[in-house]
Structure 1
Amino acid sequence: MTGGAVQRRPGVVTAVAILCWVVGALEAGTGLLYLRLASLNAMTDTPAGSAFTFGIGYMVVGLAYIAVGFGVFRGADLARVIVLLVSVINFAVGLFTALSGQPLTGILSMGLAVAITLPLWVGRGRAWFDGHRRAS
Protein backbone atom coordinates (compact mmCIF):
# COMPACT_ATOMS: atom_id res chain seq x y z
CA MET A 1 0.00 0.00 0.00
CA THR A 2 2.28 2.69 -1.21
CA GLY A 3 1.26 6.24 -1.84
CA GLY A 4 -1.81 6.05 0.44
CA ALA A 5 -3.78 3.92 -2.00
CA VAL A 6 -6.89 2.35 -0.54
CA GLN A 7 -6.78 -1.41 -0.70
CA ARG A 8 -10.07 -3.05 -1.74
CA ARG A 9 -11.78 -5.38 0.71
CA PRO A 10 -11.35 -8.98 -0.49
CA GLY A 11 -14.46 -10.90 -1.41
CA VAL A 12 -13.82 -13.45 1.35
CA VAL A 13 -14.03 -10.70 3.98
CA THR A 14 -17.30 -9.42 2.51
CA ALA A 15 -18.61 -13.01 2.44
CA VAL A 16 -17.65 -13.51 6.10
CA ALA A 17 -19.42 -10.28 7.11
CA ILE A 18 -22.56 -11.42 5.30
CA LEU A 19 -22.26 -14.89 6.83
CA CYS A 20 -21.96 -13.27 10.28
CA TRP A 21 -25.20 -11.38 9.66
CA VAL A 22 -27.05 -14.44 8.35
CA VAL A 23 -25.84 -16.80 11.10
CA GLY A 24 -26.49 -14.09 13.69
CA ALA A 25 -30.05 -13.60 12.48
CA LEU A 26 -30.68 -17.36 12.46
CA GLU A 27 -29.25 -17.81 15.95
CA ALA A 28 -31.18 -14.82 17.32
CA GLY A 29 -34.34 -16.26 15.75
CA THR A 30 -33.59 -19.63 17.32
CA GLY A 31 -33.12 -17.86 20.64
CA LEU A 32 -36.55 -16.27 20.30
CA LEU A 33 -38.07 -19.68 19.57
CA TYR A 34 -36.42 -21.18 22.66
CA LEU A 35 -37.65 -18.28 24.79
CA ARG A 36 -41.16 -18.80 23.45
CA LEU A 37 -40.88 -22.52 24.19
CA ALA A 38 -39.73 -21.71 27.72
CA SER A 39 -42.76 -19.48 28.24
CA LEU A 40 -45.11 -22.21 26.97
CA ASN A 41 -43.47 -24.81 29.21
CA ALA A 42 -43.78 -22.49 32.20
CA MET A 43 -47.56 -22.41 31.67
CA THR A 44 -47.77 -26.24 31.67
CA ASP A 45 -45.76 -26.76 34.89
CA THR A 46 -42.80 -28.32 33.07
CA PRO A 47 -39.24 -27.23 33.83
CA ALA A 48 -38.46 -24.41 31.43
CA GLY A 49 -34.99 -23.51 32.71
CA SER A 50 -33.00 -25.25 29.98
CA ALA A 51 -35.09 -23.79 27.14
CA PHE A 52 -34.75 -20.35 28.71
CA THR A 53 -30.98 -20.79 29.10
CA PHE A 54 -30.59 -21.98 25.50
CA GLY A 55 -32.74 -19.06 24.34
CA ILE A 56 -30.59 -16.48 26.12
CA GLY A 57 -27.39 -18.17 24.87
CA TYR A 58 -28.53 -18.23 21.25
CA MET A 59 -29.70 -14.60 21.49
CA VAL A 60 -26.35 -13.43 22.88
CA VAL A 61 -24.29 -15.30 20.26
CA GLY A 62 -26.63 -14.23 17.46
CA LEU A 63 -26.56 -10.57 18.38
CA ALA A 64 -22.77 -10.74 18.82
CA TYR A 65 -22.39 -12.15 15.29
CA ILE A 66 -24.67 -9.46 13.85
CA ALA A 67 -22.81 -6.63 15.59
CA VAL A 68 -19.36 -7.95 14.79
CA GLY A 69 -20.31 -8.42 11.12
CA PHE A 70 -20.33 -4.65 10.74
CA GLY A 71 -16.84 -4.42 12.25
CA VAL A 72 -15.55 -7.13 9.91
CA PHE A 73 -17.07 -5.28 6.96
CA ARG A 74 -15.19 -2.09 7.96
CA GLY A 75 -11.95 -3.95 8.66
CA ALA A 76 -11.79 -3.47 12.43
CA ASP A 77 -9.13 -5.79 13.82
CA LEU A 78 -11.00 -6.03 17.15
CA ALA A 79 -14.00 -7.42 15.25
CA ARG A 80 -11.78 -10.13 13.80
CA VAL A 81 -10.67 -11.12 17.32
CA ILE A 82 -14.25 -11.11 18.62
CA VAL A 83 -15.33 -13.29 15.68
CA LEU A 84 -12.59 -15.73 16.67
CA LEU A 85 -13.77 -15.84 20.30
CA VAL A 86 -17.45 -16.22 19.42
CA SER A 87 -16.62 -18.88 16.84
CA VAL A 88 -14.55 -20.87 19.35
CA ILE A 89 -17.57 -20.86 21.68
CA ASN A 90 -19.84 -21.83 18.77
CA PHE A 91 -17.45 -24.64 17.80
CA ALA A 92 -17.41 -25.98 21.38
CA VAL A 93 -21.21 -25.92 21.54
CA GLY A 94 -21.33 -27.70 18.17
CA LEU A 95 -18.94 -30.38 19.42
CA PHE A 96 -21.05 -30.90 22.54
CA THR A 97 -24.19 -31.07 20.40
CA ALA A 98 -22.60 -33.59 18.02
CA LEU A 99 -21.50 -35.81 20.90
CA SER A 100 -24.89 -35.48 22.63
CA GLY A 101 -26.87 -37.29 19.98
CA GLN A 102 -27.41 -34.61 17.31
CA PRO A 103 -24.39 -35.15 15.06
CA LEU A 104 -25.72 -33.34 11.98
CA THR A 105 -26.59 -30.18 13.90
CA GLY A 106 -23.26 -30.25 15.73
CA ILE A 107 -21.21 -30.75 12.58
CA LEU A 108 -23.11 -27.94 10.84
CA SER A 109 -22.43 -25.61 13.78
CA MET A 110 -18.72 -26.50 13.85
CA GLY A 111 -18.46 -26.06 10.08
CA LEU A 112 -20.05 -22.61 10.23
CA ALA A 113 -17.68 -21.58 13.04
CA VAL A 114 -14.68 -22.56 10.92
CA ALA A 115 -16.14 -21.01 7.74
CA ILE A 116 -16.64 -17.70 9.53
CA THR A 117 -13.26 -17.56 11.26
CA LEU A 118 -10.70 -19.11 8.92
CA PRO A 119 -10.91 -16.62 6.01
CA LEU A 120 -10.16 -13.73 8.37
CA TRP A 121 -6.89 -15.26 9.59
CA VAL A 122 -5.36 -16.73 6.42
CA GLY A 123 -4.68 -15.63 2.87
CA ARG A 124 -6.17 -12.44 1.44
CA GLY A 125 -8.34 -11.81 4.49
CA ARG A 126 -5.36 -11.75 6.83
CA ALA A 127 -3.32 -9.60 4.43
CA TRP A 128 -6.17 -7.09 4.15
CA PHE A 129 -6.65 -6.81 7.91
CA ASP A 130 -2.91 -6.50 8.45
CA GLY A 131 -2.62 -3.81 5.75
CA HIS A 132 -5.74 -2.05 7.01
CA ARG A 133 -4.30 -1.93 10.54
CA ARG A 134 -0.97 -0.47 9.34
CA ALA A 135 -2.77 2.18 7.28
CA SER A 136 -4.80 3.50 10.22
Structure 2
Amino acid sequence: MKKIVIFLMLIFGMNVMALFVPCAKGDTKCVIRGFKVNGEIINEDGSQDIEYIVHFINNFAESGSIEIIGHADSSGTKRHNLKLSIIRAENAAKMLREFGLNEKFIINKITGEGENFPIDTNATVNGRYNNRRVEIFIENIKFKEQVK
Protein backbone atom coordinates (compact mmCIF):
# COMPACT_ATOMS: atom_id res chain seq x y z
CA MET A 1 0.00 0.00 0.00
CA LYS A 2 2.74 2.47 0.93
CA LYS A 3 4.53 1.87 -2.38
CA ILE A 4 1.33 2.71 -4.25
CA VAL A 5 0.96 5.92 -2.25
CA ILE A 6 4.56 6.93 -3.00
CA PHE A 7 3.94 6.21 -6.68
CA LEU A 8 0.81 8.40 -6.58
CA MET A 9 2.82 11.11 -4.85
CA LEU A 10 5.34 11.11 -7.67
CA ILE A 11 2.56 11.39 -10.25
CA PHE A 12 0.10 13.75 -8.52
CA GLY A 13 2.16 15.52 -5.89
CA MET A 14 2.10 15.86 -2.11
CA ASN A 15 -1.66 16.51 -1.80
CA VAL A 16 -2.38 12.81 -2.33
CA MET A 17 0.06 11.92 0.44
CA ALA A 18 -1.80 13.93 3.05
CA LEU A 19 -4.59 11.35 2.94
CA PHE A 20 -2.40 8.35 3.80
CA VAL A 21 0.64 9.34 5.84
CA PRO A 22 1.43 10.34 9.41
CA CYS A 23 2.22 13.92 8.37
CA ALA A 24 2.25 16.12 5.28
CA LYS A 25 3.98 19.28 4.10
CA GLY A 26 3.25 22.05 6.55
CA ASP A 27 2.61 19.68 9.46
CA THR A 28 4.85 20.01 12.46
CA LYS A 29 3.60 16.82 14.14
CA CYS A 30 3.74 13.25 12.86
CA VAL A 31 2.08 10.38 14.70
CA ILE A 32 3.34 6.81 14.50
CA ARG A 33 1.03 4.06 15.72
CA GLY A 34 1.93 0.43 15.57
CA PHE A 35 3.04 -0.91 18.90
CA LYS A 36 1.84 -4.19 20.32
CA VAL A 37 0.70 -4.28 23.93
CA ASN A 38 3.94 -3.85 25.94
CA GLY A 39 5.78 -3.58 22.63
CA GLU A 40 8.92 -1.50 22.46
CA ILE A 41 9.55 -1.78 18.72
CA ILE A 42 7.47 -0.22 15.95
CA ASN A 43 5.72 -2.68 13.64
CA GLU A 44 6.33 -2.87 9.87
CA ASP A 45 3.70 -0.25 8.96
CA GLY A 46 5.10 2.09 11.59
CA SER A 47 8.59 1.49 10.24
CA GLN A 48 7.40 2.48 6.79
CA ASP A 49 5.91 5.62 8.33
CA ILE A 50 9.28 6.45 9.93
CA GLU A 51 10.98 5.90 6.59
CA TYR A 52 8.46 8.24 4.94
CA ILE A 53 9.06 10.90 7.61
CA VAL A 54 12.82 10.75 6.98
CA HIS A 55 12.25 11.08 3.24
CA PHE A 56 9.79 13.93 3.84
CA ILE A 57 12.10 15.88 6.17
CA ASN A 58 15.24 15.32 4.09
CA ASN A 59 13.53 16.39 0.86
CA PHE A 60 11.26 19.25 1.94
CA ALA A 61 12.99 20.91 4.90
CA GLU A 62 16.21 22.85 5.08
CA SER A 63 16.59 22.93 8.83
CA GLY A 64 14.84 22.22 12.09
CA SER A 65 14.94 20.29 15.32
CA ILE A 66 12.97 17.24 16.36
CA GLU A 67 11.25 16.28 19.59
CA ILE A 68 10.02 12.72 20.06
CA ILE A 69 7.42 11.79 22.68
CA GLY A 70 6.42 8.22 23.39
CA HIS A 71 3.00 7.22 24.73
CA ALA A 72 1.31 4.12 26.12
CA ASP A 73 -2.22 2.91 26.74
CA SER A 74 -3.49 2.32 30.26
CA SER A 75 -2.54 -1.38 30.36
CA GLY A 76 0.04 -1.95 33.07
CA THR A 77 1.18 0.28 35.90
CA LYS A 78 1.88 3.98 35.49
CA ARG A 79 5.56 3.36 36.20
CA HIS A 80 5.78 0.58 33.59
CA ASN A 81 3.93 2.68 31.00
CA LEU A 82 6.23 5.64 31.56
CA LYS A 83 9.32 3.49 31.07
CA LEU A 84 7.77 1.81 28.01
CA SER A 85 6.89 5.16 26.44
CA ILE A 86 10.47 6.40 26.84
CA ILE A 87 11.82 3.23 25.20
CA ARG A 88 9.39 3.70 22.31
CA ALA A 89 10.58 7.27 21.78
CA GLU A 90 14.23 6.20 21.94
CA ASN A 91 13.60 3.45 19.38
CA ALA A 92 11.85 5.91 17.06
CA ALA A 93 14.84 8.27 17.30
CA LYS A 94 17.18 5.41 16.48
CA MET A 95 15.06 4.44 13.47
CA LEU A 96 15.04 8.03 12.16
CA ARG A 97 18.84 7.95 12.04
CA GLU A 98 18.96 4.39 10.66
CA PHE A 99 16.68 5.42 7.79
CA GLY A 100 19.07 8.26 6.97
CA LEU A 101 17.76 11.40 8.66
CA ASN A 102 20.20 14.12 7.65
CA GLU A 103 22.56 15.10 10.47
CA LYS A 104 21.60 18.77 10.04
CA PHE A 105 18.32 17.91 11.82
CA ILE A 106 18.93 17.73 15.54
CA ILE A 107 16.93 15.41 17.76
CA ASN A 108 16.89 17.70 20.77
CA LYS A 109 14.43 15.95 23.08
CA ILE A 110 13.32 12.35 23.62
CA THR A 111 10.72 11.83 26.34
CA GLY A 112 7.89 9.58 27.38
CA GLU A 113 4.50 10.50 28.79
CA GLY A 114 3.26 7.02 29.67
CA GLU A 115 -0.53 6.91 29.66
CA ASN A 116 -0.94 10.57 30.64
CA PHE A 117 -2.19 11.98 27.33
CA PRO A 118 -4.48 9.52 25.52
CA ILE A 119 -5.85 10.53 22.13
CA ASP A 120 -8.55 7.87 22.25
CA THR A 121 -10.46 5.82 24.79
CA ASN A 122 -8.65 3.06 26.67
CA ALA A 123 -11.97 1.18 26.93
CA THR A 124 -11.65 -0.42 23.47
CA VAL A 125 -8.97 -2.42 21.66
CA ASN A 126 -8.81 0.15 18.84
CA GLY A 127 -8.62 3.04 21.29
CA ARG A 128 -5.75 1.44 23.17
CA TYR A 129 -3.99 0.78 19.85
CA ASN A 130 -4.26 4.49 18.99
CA ASN A 131 -2.86 5.46 22.39
CA ARG A 132 0.25 3.28 21.89
CA ARG A 133 2.10 5.79 19.74
CA VAL A 134 5.07 8.04 19.21
CA GLU A 135 4.65 11.69 18.29
CA ILE A 136 7.40 13.37 16.32
CA PHE A 137 7.40 17.15 16.45
CA ILE A 138 9.40 19.03 13.85
CA GLU A 139 10.27 22.37 15.43
CA ASN A 140 11.82 25.55 14.08
CA ILE A 141 11.32 24.10 10.65
CA LYS A 142 12.27 25.94 7.53
CA PHE A 143 10.79 24.40 4.41
CA LYS A 144 12.62 24.53 1.11
CA GLU A 145 11.15 26.77 -1.55
CA GLN A 146 9.24 24.68 -4.08
CA VAL A 147 9.65 25.30 -7.79
CA LYS A 148 6.24 25.65 -9.45
TM-score in terms of structure 2 length: 0.28
TM-score in terms of structure 1 length: 0.30
Larger Rg: 1
